[in-house]
Structure formats: structure tokens, C-alpha cells
Homo-oligomer: A and B are copies of this chain.
């Protein structure tokens, strides 16, 4: 719409996009037509990680080769550690796309964890002023969280995701069978995000994780299959419902999915990113739960139930290097990042939450006491389960 006045012309524009999230168990099974039918007719640069390539590369190549020449693709293998989340790797993907002679009607396909899907989303957003992209997350964390969002980013020095875009994928393809080759710690980290989304939106999902979470981790999401499917499906759908409320974050920065993501940036930072994201989220949820209890927003027994689940799944509630004074100070950075408001998400029951801006009634002393309590709970847990956070 163009509005023309004397000294002012306004062009109001609308950009529409459709992001399809496809549940496709055994995606690379030779008889599964899902991926082939999606890739058909559009040239694709498929980017995968060294570790995914070593596990699934030959299966992927066999799958695609069975459909050649109908599929037009090139595979690019890229090392995808957290330290690989750089603009240089985004440009390396663009360079591959150019060497493959990709034009505007083409796709970049990410098959990997969060770093891979972030790099590919960013590359797709800027190559030829934007091409389509597809995310095939291969970690549980990717399947239930990072792989279905529309944000991407790279780090600049110690600034996490300082550069990036909001850029909806055309498809996210979710296949729980990739979880088979994850180690337990990675699976637990993904479960932390599932607990997060359950806590803010889905009591039933929480109870599935309570009942079958340990078995799911031990069986690597094979048994019980119905619960494995439910966790993947429900986590993804609930996440999408939350994102859908404010997809481009243009309204405000009060987002339920930020449960577990207020203290965790500090924790990850002091660990120099050796503390996995999901574990940092688990600790952050522990703190948030106790803050909710302290403020009278969450019942004592419910708080205990949530902490028990986190511990039972083998996730930490405490990180030895964390300093309550620094933790308290780190909230200023979060406030700045969220446009001046803290928007701390605290559960008020299983499936409901509140935003808290003012922690002055808790204060640094209260926070210290909470941290001590979490250390004790975690310590007990360590003795029982020989876990090292």
C-alpha cells in the first residue's frame, strides 16, 4: 500500500512466509519418499557437519543417489563446533553455493545441530538476497527447539549471536531416529528444552517426561516409542505456538520460551562455552523455580516436583564456577538485551508462568541462599548418581 501526501510517502509492505514442519521418522530410509519429494525440482546445497557426515553421510548419499538424476544437489561438509559459529563459515557456505552456481530459486539444506542450522539459515538469508532453506536438526535440542525457530546467528568474539537474521525456513524436517546416535548428555540437554516448553505450556508433556523421560534417555528415544513421538511432536508444536505469538520479536521481549534463558547466558559465558546450553538452561530453570517459590508464585511441592524431574533426568541444578554476585550483575545485561525489562519467566504451576521484573524483594542475599540450596540439592544428586555438572 502506497500512501501519498505532500512531503511524506508511506509504503506499507507485507512479507508472507510459510514454514512447514514435517514429522518424518526414518527420513533417510531408502523407501521414505519425504525428503526426495521436498528436494525434487529445486537445486540444493546440502550442508552437514563432520560428525553427522561420519554417522549418516553414506546413508544420505545412498538415499540421494537412488533418486539421481531427478535430484540436483551438492553436499558440503563443515566442522560445526560452537567456535565454528562465525561469519567466515557463513561466507564459506555462500561460496559453495556460488561454486554450485545456485541462483535465487534454490535451497540451502542444513543437516546437523544448532550451529549447522544457524550457519545455513544465515547463509540462506544473504545469498542472492535470500534463498530458501531447510533445517534437518540431528540433535534433540535442534528437533525440539533450535531447528524449528526462524532465528539464526553467529558469534562475534564473545558476543553470542551478535550478527544474524530472522529468516523463516521453508521446511523443518524432524526425525527422532537421529537421536539414536547422540550421547546421553546431548539427549539430556535436549530434554531440558522439552521440560522448559512443558513447564510454560503443557502439563501433559511434563507428565510424559516425568513418567518416561529416564527410559527415553536410556533407550535413546526408542522406548516407549509413543512417548518418544509425543515428546518430539508436543515439544515442537508448543514451541511453535509460543513463537507464533511474536515471531519477529517486534512486539516486546516478554517470551515464555525464555524460561531457562535468563541466567544461562552468564553460566555459558563463565564456562567459556564448555557448559552445554541445555545444562545451563536446566540450572537457570532451577534458579527460576526457586525464585517463583520465594515470591509466593509457585507452591513448594510443585517447585520440588520440577527440581526432582530435572535431577532425575541427569541434568544439573548447580555449576561450581557460578558466583551469585556475578549472577546478580548479569541481569543488567539481560535487561539491556530485552529493552529495559528483565522479563524473568517463572513457572507458577506445571504449564503456566509469570514474568517477573523486580527481584528487589529477593535481592542478592536471597539469590545467594537459593544458589546454596541448589548446590545442596545438586550435591546430593551427584553423590547418588556420580554426575559431574
Contacts and interface: CB of A to CB of B under 8 A. Distances in A.
Interface residues of A, number: 62
Contacts of A20: 8-10
A11 B22 contact: no
Contact of A12 (B16, B128, B152, B161): B16
Contacts of A10: 18-21
A318 to B, nearest CB: 31
Interface in A121-154: 122, 125-130, 150-153
A210 to B, nearest CB: 24
Interface in A69-93: 87, 91
7 contacts: A2-B241, A11-B18, A91-B163, A103-B336, A104-B249, A129-B151, A130-B165
Interface in A89-114: 91, 94-95, 98, 103-105
A17 interface: yes
Contact of A247 (B13, B156, B339): B13
A61 interface: no
A151 B162 CA distance: 22
A237 B2 CA distance: 9
A98 B159 CA distance: 9
Given A127-B163, A130-B166, A11 B243 contact: yes
A126 B162 CA distance: 8
Interface string A234-246: 0011001101100
Contact of A337 (B1, B103, B161): B103
Nearest to A103: B336
B8 A17 contact: no
A226 interface: no
A14 interface: yes
Given A125-B165, A244-B2, A18 B8 contact: no
A379 interface: no
Given A11-B21, A14-B16, 7 more contacts: A7-B22, A8-B20, A8-B22, A94-B162, A98-B159, A103-B336, A130-B165
A168 B244 contact: no
Contacts of A241: 2
A280 to B, nearest CB: 21
A185 to B, nearest CB: 29
Between A13, A150, A151, A243, the greatest number of chain B beta carbons within 10 A of the residue's beta carbon is seen for A13
A12 B18 CA distance: 4
Contacts of A126: 122, 125-126, 163-165
A21 B2 CA distance: 10
Interface string A219-239: 000000000000000001100
A164 B129 contact: yes
A14 B11 contact: no
Nearest to A11: B19
Between A129, A159, A163, the greatest number of chain B beta carbons within 10 A of the residue's beta carbon is seen for A129
Contact of A16 (B13, B87, B129): B13
